[in-house]
């Protein structure tokens, strides 16, 4: 079946009455709740999956039509039924057994669902094998419910792009206020989790593509250290900066999901560096008192762009101090010019990685290289109607790897973000983590002028290849805003500890109400 699919800063603006789309049996369920229900025999995985699919049909494809899903897995109900049989026979694979998960549609599955990156050029592209991520989820007993819409090519195709739009999936809407943007590129993943169309989603991030849609849709999102989760079978942008990661409504759910995703993979050499750093169960680091005695740095560059966000961040700082943390201002986090080096690295690696991915689809694939993709977009009636493909063209002009220019940019980026950046600052100030607002409230979707970013804080962690997690920080009117915590390579345990403590002390998450424009 394909579907085309807390403290609040108050205001006197009257919002129109929304329909009650939150009359749902499993609304805001977390994984422990769901597993408890399974164990007590209150419902089965088959019943749960059917309920989520029905909700997708009534909210995603119709009703408020938030359009977060590209395709629903036609085998999802049958998979759930088989998992119920396993449970009845005494076999439970773990905490993800029978849990619905949605994958961003740049993550390969070898089944009846294509993997498109949102591009019409790959509309009927069926990968020859599962991605590492899909395989790990299946082994853990998760039900892959479907594929989520995304900003096409993970938002690295062209200039003035509107996040959440793809040629295959159309425009995804923010479920809090439908005229607002979901942010990207894991737009559909963030919206599907927030709107209770799934329990978990897997997004991917090069720079901001998990944390921004998580922030804008009021959920928790984690981009792991590059190499902790394999990228095999994930349509790439940057070998140095890309990572898949879990998105959920709670830190607990994200920690459970992360535990299932890790593992070394010989086909992704970055994962070989994770040996010795992998934790079999990240939930053991969830500690309500996890902020006591912690030294938290404040990344100040995003501050001053939006006074409403600054006000929420001031409240968040008070909450952190009340929970026992010590806050320290950071004057400079990364070296000047590091962002320019990162952009060069991305262009070089995009050309190399995308050509390799397209070749992996086999001789029958419609598009076999970057040249053919660029030509297809020029000829297609939909692809270039809102924005261009400048980044594809810029990447295509780069030298093949290895290249002296590439090696120079890579070295400069890593020195600026790691050695002389996060590593140096955290060591000198003896920090456990760094915080900043994740972004500004969602802007109105604009297909003429593209996105209207005011601020973001994902850059330092992205350029370093280090982990970052965002959790809800509060609301501006009806729109959620997140706070990001980031730190050193392989510091997921420390970040999960402090974010869980903050989440439990504040509990800002609330379900969206699907408010129409006004």
**pLDDT in the model for residue 279:** 98
d(CA 407, CA 179): 43
| Longest pairwise C-alpha distance within the chain | 62
d(CA 337, CA 250): 36
How far is the C-alpha of 474 from the C-alpha of 210, rounded, in Å?
A: 18
Q: Which of 83, 78, 77 is nearest to 49 (CA)?
A: 77
pLDDT at residue 19 in the model? 66
Alpha helices in 56-131 (DSSP H): 76-88
- Report which of 314, 500, 329 is spatially closest to residue 429, judged by C-alpha positions: 329
Domains present along the chain, CATH in parentheses: 35-153+161-506 (3.90.1300.10)
Instruction: Tell the residue number behind the tokens 């109900």, with chain if given.
Output: 77
Three-state SS sequence of 347-392: HHHHHHHHHHHHHHCCCCCCCCCHHHHHHHHHHCCCCCCCCCCHHH
Catalytic site residue from 209, 214, 457, 458: 209
User: Which tens digit of pLDDT belongs to each residue from 18-50?
Assistant: 468 999 999 999 999 999 999 999 999 999 999
Distance of CA 32 to the CA centre of its chain: 22
Tens of pLDDT along 259-310? 999 999 999 999 999 999 999 999 999 999 999 999 999 999 999 999 999 9
CA dist 44 and 48 (Å) reads 6
Torsion angle, CA of 453/459/462/464, rounded to 10 degrees?
170
Distance of alpha carbon 48 from alpha carbon 97, whole angstroms: 12
| Averaged pLDDT in 10-residue chunks for the chain of 518 residues | 34 49 97 98 98 98 97 98 98 98 98 98 97 98 98 98 98 98 98 99 98 98 98 98 99 99 98 98 98 98 98 98 98 97 98 98 96 98 98 97 96 98 98 98 98 97 98 98 98 98 98 89
- Whether 260 and 141 have beta carbons less than 8 Å apart is answered as no
381 is catalytic: no
Residue 30: how many CA atoms within 13 Å on its side-chain side?
A: 14
Q: Determine whether 403 is an active site residue.
A: no
How far apart (Å, rounded) are the C-alpha atoms in residues 109 and 148? Answer: 13
Cα→Cα distances 83→4, 89, 98, 99, 101, Å: 28, 10, 6, 10, 14
Q: With H, G, I as helix, E, B as strand and everything else as coil, classify residue 220.
A: strand
pLDDT score, position 232: 98
User: What pTM, to 2 d.p., does this model score?
Assistant: 0.96
Among residues 68, 104, 151, 186, the one annotated as catalytic is 104
Token pair 């990240």 in the structure block, residue: 282
At 440, list the tokens.
């500004």
Q: Does residue 23 sit in helix, strand or coil?
A: coil
Long-range contacts of 34-40 (CB under 8 A, 24+ apart): 34/98, 34/99, 34/199, 35/95, 35/97, 38/87, 38/97, 38/98
Query: Which of 151, 185, 238, 243 is the catalytic position?
Result: 185
H or E segment to which residue 136 belongs? helix 132-139
* Active-site residue, 151 included: no
């Amino acid at each position: 079946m394909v579907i085309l699919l807390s403290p609040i800063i108050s205001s006197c603006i009257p919002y129109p009455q929304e329909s009650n789309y939150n009359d749902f049996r499993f609304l805001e369920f977390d994984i422990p709740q769901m597993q408890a229900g399974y164990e007590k025999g209150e419902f089965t995985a088959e019943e749960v999956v059917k309920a989520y699919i029905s909700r997708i049909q009534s909210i995603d494809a119709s009703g408020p039509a938030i359009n977060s899903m590209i395709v629903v897995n036609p085998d999802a109900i049958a998979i759930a039924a088989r998992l119920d049989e396993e449970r009845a026979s005494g076999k439970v694979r773990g905490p993800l057994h029978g849990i619905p998960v949605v994958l961003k549609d740049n993550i390969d599955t070898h089944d009846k669902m294509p993997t498109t990156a949102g591009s019409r050029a790959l509309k009927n592209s069926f990968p020859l094998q599962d991605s590492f991520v899909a395989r790990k989820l299946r082994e853990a007993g998760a039900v892959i419910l479907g594929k989520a819409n995304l900003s096409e090519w993970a938002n690295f195709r062209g200039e003035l792009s509107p996040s959440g739009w793809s040629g295959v999936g159309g425009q995804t809407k923010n479920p809090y206020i439908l005229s607002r943007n979901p942010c990207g590129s894991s737009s559909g993943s963030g919206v599907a989790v927030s709107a209770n169309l799934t329990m978990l989603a897997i997004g991917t991030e090069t720079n901001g593509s998990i944390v921004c849609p998580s922030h804008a849709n009021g959920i928790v999102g984690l981009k792991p250290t590059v190499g902790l989760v394999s990228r095999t079978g994930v349509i790439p942008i940057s070998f140095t900066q890309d990572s898949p990661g879990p998105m959920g409504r709670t830190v607990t759910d994200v920690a459970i999901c992360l535990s299932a995703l890790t593992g070394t993979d010989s086909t992704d050499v970055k994962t070989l560096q994770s040996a010795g750093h992998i934790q079999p169960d990240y939930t053991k680091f969830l500690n309500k008192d996890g902020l006591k005695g912690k030294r938290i740095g404040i990344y100040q560059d995003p501050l001053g762009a939006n006074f409403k966000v600054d006000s929420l961040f001031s409240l968040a700082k008070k909450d952190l101090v009340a929970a026992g943390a010590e806050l320290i201002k950071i004057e400079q986090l990364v070296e000047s010019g590091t962002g320019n080096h990162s952009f060069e690295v991305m262009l070089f690696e995009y050309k190399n990685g995308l050509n390799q991915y397209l070749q992996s689809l086999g001789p029958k694939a419609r598009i076999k290289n970057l040249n053919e993709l660029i030509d297809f977009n020029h000829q297609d009636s939909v692809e270039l109607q809102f924005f261009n493909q400048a980044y594809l063209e810029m990447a295509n002009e780069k030298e093949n790897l290895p290249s002296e220019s590439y090696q120079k940019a890579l070295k400069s980026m890593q020195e600026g973000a790691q050695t002389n950046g996060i590593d140096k600052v955290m060591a000198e100030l003896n920090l456990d983590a760094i915080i900043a607002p994740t972004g500004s409230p969602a802007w109105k979707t604009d297909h003429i002028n593209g996105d209207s970013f005011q601020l973001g804080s994902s850059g330092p962690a992205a350029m370093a290849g280090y982990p970052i997690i965002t959790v809800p920080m509060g609301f501006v009117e009806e729109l959620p805003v997140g706070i990001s915590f980031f730190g050193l390579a392989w510091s997921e345990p420390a970040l999960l500890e402090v974010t869980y403590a903050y989440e439990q002390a504040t509990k800002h998450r609330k379900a969206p109400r699907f408010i129409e424009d006004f």
